[in-house]
Amino acid sequence: MNRRGRTWSKTTVGGRTWGKTALGLLLTAVMLFPVYWMLNVSFTRDQDMRKSPPDLFPAHATLEGYRAVIDQQLPYLGTSLVIGLGTVALTVALAAPAGYALAKLRPRGGGILNFVLLAAQMIPGIIMAMGFYAIYLSLGLLQSVPGLIVADSTLAVPFAVLIFTAFMSGIPGELLQAAKTDGAGPLRTFWSIVLPMSRNSIVTVSLFAFLWSWSDFVFASTLVNGGAHEPITLGIYHYIGNNNQQWNAIMATAVVASLPAAVILVLAQRYVAAGVTAGAVKD
Q: In which band, very low, low, confident or very high, does the pLDDT at 283 lie, cut at 50, 70 and 90?
A: very low
Report in angstroms the alpha-carbon separations of 167 from 157, 203, 274.
15, 12, 9
Separation of alpha carbons 84 and 235, rounded Å:
15
| Residue 193 pLDDT greater than 70, yes or no | yes
Which span out of 41-55, 83-97, 219-233 was modeled with the highest average pLDDT?
83-97
- The pLDDT value recorded for residue 281 is 45
State the pTM of this model. 0.82
Mean pLDDT for the stretch of residues 24-50 = 87
- The pLDDT value recorded for residue 135 is 93
What is the number of residues in the chain? 283
Cβ neighbours of residue 195 closer than 8 Å, sequence gap 6 or more: 96, 202
Cβ neighbours of residue 237 closer than 8 Å, sequence gap 6 or more: 217, 221
Task: Summarize pLDDT for 248-260 with one digit per residue, the tens.
Answer: 888 888 898 888 8
| Residue 9 pLDDT greater than 70, yes or no | no
| Residue 100 pLDDT greater than 70, yes or no | yes
Q: In which band, very low, low, confident or very high, does the pLDDT at 72 lie, cut at 50, 70 and 90?
A: confident
φ and ψ at 281, to 5 degrees?
Answer: -120, 130
Task: Summarize pLDDT for 126-176 with one digit per residue, the tens.
Answer: 889 999 999 999 998 898 999 999 999 998 999 999 899 988 888 888 888
Which DSSP letter does residue 70 get? I
CB-CB contact of 254 with 80 (8 Å): no
- Rounded to the nearest angstrom, the gap between the alpha carbon of residue 69 and the centroid of all alpha carbons in its chain is 23
Number of H helices, E strands in the chain: 13, 0
Task: Summarize pLDDT for 220-249 with one digit per residue, the tens.
Answer: 999 998 778 899 988 888 777 655 667 888
Which ranges in 170-246 belong to alpha helices (H)?
Answer: 173-181, 186-189, 195-197, 199-215, 218-223, 232-242
Mean pLDDT for the stretch of residues 33-51 = 85
- The pLDDT value recorded for residue 278 is 54
Q: In which band, very low, low, confident or very high, does the pLDDT at 282 lie, cut at 50, 70 and 90?
A: very low
Which range has the worst mean pLDDT, 50-59, 68-77, 138-147? 50-59
| Residue 87 pLDDT greater than 70, yes or no | yes
Q: Which helix (H) or strand (E) holds 247?
A: helix 247-277
Separation of alpha carbons 165 and 167, rounded Å:
6
| Residue 13 pLDDT greater than 70, yes or no | no
Q: In which band, very low, low, confident or very high, does the pLDDT at 276 lie, cut at 50, 70 and 90?
A: low
